[in-house]
Amino acid sequence: MTTLSRRDILQGAAAFSSIALLARPSIADTAFPVLRTTPATAQLAPAGYPATPVWAYATEATATVPGPEIRVTAGDRIQRRLVNDLPQATAVHWHGIRLENGMDGAAPLTQAPVPPGETFDYDFVAHDPGTYWYHSHNRSTEQVARGLAGPLIVEDREPWLGEPGAASRELVLMLDDWLLDGEAAIIEDRWDDLHAAAHGGRMGNTATVNGTAYPGLPVQPGERLRLRIINMATDRIMPLRLPDLSPRLIALDGHPVAPRDMETLVLGPAQRADVVIDIPADSSATRLLIDPGNGEWIELARFEAEGDALPGQASDVRPLPAWGTLAALDLENAQREPLLMEGGAMRGMIETRYQGETLGFRELTARGMVWALNGTANNLDAPMFRATVGQTVLMEMTNRSAFPHAIHLHGHHFEVLDRSGGLNRAGDIRDTVLIGADETVEIALVADNPGAWMLHCHMLSHQKSGMMGWFEVA
């Protein structure tokens, strides 16, 4: 079996708030649409506060927070030229998309980060319909927290909207939290806050939906809506409720589920959910609520009903079309791989491996490491495991820490098995799984996408401080 080293891989890799940008000569030597990263400002805090300096994705003319929506149909190519106008190198990861390895944007594993003033062309097929997103994957603890994320929507090949029992239209809701000071500026001196990293991560104090605090979302009485909800926060787990809206879950992480009633939806960082709601015909306003962590439900956004009431929908919700593209699991002949999560506050680590050395707790913290996967911290020198193409891999993920973790596998979707813990449901297909403190969760996937794929916690503070590795499919 050919084994790829980190060096081989690097050598082989060649809102609603709009902000006007300074003029820059257009790039005429490519037909790819431009996706630019640039400093900008956005009105994140409520009215009366100053605009916030952010880093944003932009087309040639306009920057937005979140970034511009990219929408295609399953089977279409996505082509974008990244133009980096930031003072830091960056890269774009297309989260949840099963694509070829060299286009994954997982710097520094699958490509070198793009330096300031340079460009990189992304060109891949979006095979699977669903709700996805794109975000920075270099210095992501800082760059995502500054605003570098946007929605990526892949529509079904066959129609769903407007069909009997389906929704009549949809809303994409990107949920975020921001750590702002009294002047609504992003707090700059907390990127390396090891105390926060050893706990739940860098939490914000200002919540936004599509880049706006406490927005009012216009709806029509009696209409049925599909909400595509994306948790783009760097670290915050979001428990959500939609009271008086008869919410039914129809997809998780882009993959359809049989429609089911839901009272509380818990989304870890990077997780997505598609939810159908029915706006009451006799109500002027209903709400999206969030529990910020104290058990009290507060308003995150308001659905403001206006106009004449539409005829009511049937109670049953039309399922989304099945993917039909995931290979069948072979659990009897599965390759078993453990994933052990250790570290953090209240448990700590006596010692672990980092950059080829076994270090004690004080030495690790001096290097900014407080978490480990399988006894190593931020190991990019060798894969955590290797699998041949087509092999079923069963992973037993054990969280021995006092905090939950959102584990994301690049390039693949996986099935949550019977040992699903309290935050999952067996049989669901995910690309990011939330594992509670002291829980064990089993997942299984068919390793059918060749390449070197990252595996990490999507609490980005945890990722930066130790919870990152990779696996090889060859």
CATH number of domain containing 254: 2.60.40.420
Q: Which residue has the higher pLDDT, 431 or 30?
A: 431
CA 303-146-9 angle, 5° bins: 120
1: confidence class by pLDDT, cuts 50, 70, 90: very low
286 and 371 co-located in one domain? no
- Read off the pLDDT of each residue in 186-199 and give the average, rounded to a whole number: 94
At 315 the pLDDT is 79
| Token digits of residue 226 | 């599909």
If one counts every other C-beta atom within 10 angstroms of the C-beta of residue 471, the result is 23
% pLDDT > 70, the chain: 94
- Read off the pLDDT of each residue in 387-407 and give the average, rounded to a whole number: 98
Q: List C-alpha distances in Å: 174 to 89, 133, 217, 340, 418.
A: 25, 9, 13, 31, 30
- Read off the pLDDT of each residue in 366-391 and give the average, rounded to a whole number: 96
178 and 295 co-located in one domain? yes
Among 155, 178, 203, residue at a domain's last position:
155
Among 305, 321, 340, residue at a domain's last position:
305
C-alpha to C-alpha distance for 86 and 371, rounded to whole angstroms: 29
Domain span at 119: 6-155
Is 321 inside a domain boundary?
no
233 and 112 co-located in one domain? no
- In the chain, the amino acid numbered 432 is T
Q: Residue 340 in contact with residue 379, Cβ under 8 Å?
A: no
What's the pLDDT tens digit per position in 121-154? 999 999 999 999 999 999 999 999 999 999 999 9
At 30 the pLDDT is 56
15 and 136 co-located in one domain? yes
Burial classification of residue 394, based on how many CB atoms lie within 10 Å of its CB (0-12 exposed, 13-18 middle, 19 or more buried): buried
140 and 262 co-located in one domain? no
At 227 the pLDDT is 98
pTM: 0.92
Lowest mean pLDDT among 220-224, 281-285, 289-293, 456-460: 281-285
351 and 377 co-located in one domain? yes
86: confidence class by pLDDT, cuts 50, 70, 90: very high
Is 269 inside a domain boundary?
yes
Is 162 inside a domain boundary?
no
At 285 the pLDDT is 81
What's the pLDDT tens digit per position in 16-46? 223 333 334 344 455 899 999 999 999 999 9
Per the DSSP assignment, residues forming a β-bridge with 376 are 353, 373
At 7 the pLDDT is 36
448 and 342 co-located in one domain? yes
Q: Which residue has the higher pLDDT, 283 or 391?
A: 391
Q: Residue 4 in contact with residue 452, Cβ under 8 Å?
A: yes
16 and 128 co-located in one domain? yes
- Read off the pLDDT of each residue in 373-395 and give the average, rounded to a whole number: 96
60: confidence class by pLDDT, cuts 50, 70, 90: confident
CA 62-135-355 angle, 5° bins: 140
Mean pLDDT of the chain: 92
Q: How far is CA 436 from the centre of its chain?
A: 18
**Number of domains the chain is built from:** 3
Taking each continuous run of H as one helix and of E as one strand, the counts in the chain are 5, 34
Phi (first) and psi of residue 176, to 5 degrees: -150, 160
At 394 the pLDDT is 98
Q: Provide the 8-state DSSP code for 34.
A: E
Is 316 inside a domain boundary?
no
143 and 13 co-located in one domain? yes
Is 72 inside a domain boundary?
yes
232 and 364 co-located in one domain? no
8: confidence class by pLDDT, cuts 50, 70, 90: very low
123 and 214 co-located in one domain? no
Strand order in the sheet with 119-125: 17-20, 62-65, 52-58, 34-42, 77-84, 119-125
Is 194 inside a domain boundary?
yes
123 and 84 co-located in one domain? yes
- Strands (E) located in 22-168: 34-42, 52-58, 62-65, 70-73, 77-84, 92-95, 119-125, 130-136, 149-155
C-alpha to C-alpha distance for 396 and 444, rounded to whole angstroms: 9
% pLDDT > 90, the chain: 87
Is 20 inside a domain boundary?
yes
At 314 the pLDDT is 73
- In the chain, the amino acid numbered 198 is A
Is 315 inside a domain boundary?
no
Burial classification of residue 68, based on how many CB atoms lie within 10 Å of its CB (0-12 exposed, 13-18 middle, 19 or more buried): buried
Cα atoms found within 13 Å of the Cα of residue 275, Cβ hemisphere only: 26
